Amino acid sequence: MQSKARSGHILAIQPNDSTVSNVGELSTETLNLKGIRGVINDGDVRDAEFIIGLGFQVLHRYFSPRDVVGYWLPDAFGQRVKIGDVLITR
């Protein structure tokens, strides 16, 4: 997911899942170093204290300590994402 994100952009994630964290310490640190401006995630976040300390902007729906590794993989990039009633386009 981080490898596809482009500098100066915002990463929007629609995981269609509320059981694992799609964003955490490692992903936000990587995205921040790449120059990504922030994340809109219609899912879970972990490592909130680290993310706040980093000053990286993340909007999310839930908190979960459960890691995404081995459970969830993205299936599309650069597509429209609907979060709630809002359609996010490129």
**Tens-of-pLDDT digits for all 90 residues of the chain?**
677 888 999 999 998 888 889 899 999 999 999 999 999 999 999 999 999 999 999 999 999 998 877 776 777 788 888 988 899 887
Q: What is the structure's pLDDT at 41?
A: 93
- To the question of whether residue 37 is assigned a binding role by annotation, the answer is no
| AA letter at 19 | T
Residue 77 backbone phi and psi in degrees, to 5: -135, 150
Domains, the chain, with CATH or none? 2-88 (3.50.30.40)
Task: Name the β-bridge partners of 82.
Answer: 87
- To the question of whether residue 80 is assigned a binding role by annotation, the answer is no
Q: What is the pTM of this model?
A: 0.84
